[in-house]
């Protein structure tokens, strides 16, 4: 395995792409393939083959000339880089429509990340299982985080509860948050935060579609 220094120096974009490469490679394994060329990975990811080779160079993986990369080896190597050694447990806070969609989508996809608990305020949900994941009440949050050694939380509560929930998660010792609520959060340094908003994605698409049409109209 690469040592810490090297991991730290990997570009952020490379980390993202490694995750995406693995996703694509896992699909290839399912299709029964054993090797893949850089230009094939590139096509799947909508990037250039050089970009792929450069990323793989950075993580020190070598393919075979004219044969490409060994898919399962590469999957394993990506695992040693981006995964922790032990399973990292995740809590999903707010077991609503989005939360359930995420649990269903995520669990089982990766070996080293596991949504180990749902947290919801709705009494009808507490005590139930959702796609095999037990749902607890907010009063148990701190305890469950400790007991299950949960490091990361996904936040899918209604927006008006976002700030309070995030604060409690941070206080309970969470080290990473993925925030899907409409409210940008502030967390202390030492807590890694990612936010995603589909409105931005859609607006970006709409902008470039508009630009494309203006371009065409010009002719």
Ligand X SMILES: NC(=O)c1ccc[n+]([C@@H]2O[C@H](COP(=O)([O-])OP(=O)(O)OC[C@H]3O[C@@H](n4cnc5c(N)ncnc54)[C@H](O)[C@@H]3O)[C@@H](O)[C@H]2O)c1
Partner DNA sequence: AAACTTTTGTTATAAAAATAACATTGTTAA
Partner DNA sequence: TTAACAATGTTATTTTTATAACAAAAGTTT
Tally of CB atoms within 10 A around 60: 11
Binding of residue 71 to ligand X (CB under 6 A)? no
Helix (H, G, I), strand (E, B) or coil at 107: coil
d(CA 78, CA 39): 18
Q: Which of residues 175-194 bind ligand X (CB under 6 A)?
A: 180-182
Instruction: Single out the residue of 1, 62, 80, 96 in contact with a second copy (rule: CB under 8 A).
Output: 96
Select 69 or 136, whichever has its Cβ closest to ligand X.
136
Q: Which of residues 1-60 bind DNA (CB under 7 A)?
A: 11-14, 37-39, 47-51, 53-54, 56-57
For 194, phi then psi, to 5°, come to: -125, 140
Q: Which of residues 72-131 bind DNA (CB under 7 A)?
A: none
Binding of residue 127 to a second copy (CB under 8 A)? no
Among left, alpha and beta (phi > 0; psi -120 to 50; other), residue 108 is left
How many C-alpha atoms does 68 have within 13 Å on its Cβ side? Answer: 17
Q: Hunting for tokens 């990369």 — which residue is that?
A: 69
- Residue 90's nearest CA partner among 103, 76, 104 is 103
Quote the least distance from Cβ 99 to a second copy, whole Å: 9
Residues at the interface with a second copy (CB under 8 A): 4, 7-8, 12, 15-16, 19-20, 23-24, 27, 43-46, 82-84, 88, 90, 96-98, 100-102, 104-106, 109-110, 112-113, 151-152, 154, 175-178, 182-184, 186, 190, 192-194, 196-215, 218
């Amino acid at each position: 395995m690469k040592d810490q220094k090297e991991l730290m120096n990997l570009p952020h974009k490379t980390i993202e792409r490694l995750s995406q490469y693995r996703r694509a490679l896992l699909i290839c394994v399912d299709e029964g393939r054993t090797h893949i060329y850089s230009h094939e990975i590139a096509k799947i990811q909508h990037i250039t083959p050089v970009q792929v080779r450069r990323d793989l160079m950075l993580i020190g993986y070598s393919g075979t000339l004219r044969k490409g990369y060994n898919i399962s080896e590469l999957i394993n190597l990506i695992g040693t880089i981006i995964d922790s050694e032990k399973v990292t447990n995740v809590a999903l806070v707010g077991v609503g429509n989005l939360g359930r969609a995420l649990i269903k989508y995520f669990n089982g996809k990766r070996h080293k990340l596991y949504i180990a608990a749902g947290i919801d305020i709705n009494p009808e949900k507490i005590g139930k299982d959702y796609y095999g994941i037990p749902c607890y009440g907010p009063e148990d949050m701190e305890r469950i985080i400790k007991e299950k050694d949960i490091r990361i939380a996904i936040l899918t509560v209604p927006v008006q509860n976002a700030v309070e929930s995030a604060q409690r998660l941070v206080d309970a010792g969470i080290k990473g948050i993925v925030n899907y609520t409409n409210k940008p959060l502030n967390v202390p340094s030492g807590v890694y935060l990612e936010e995603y908003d589909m409105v931005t994605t859609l607006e970006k698409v709409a902008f470039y579609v508009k630009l494309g049409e203006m371009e065409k109209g010009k002719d």
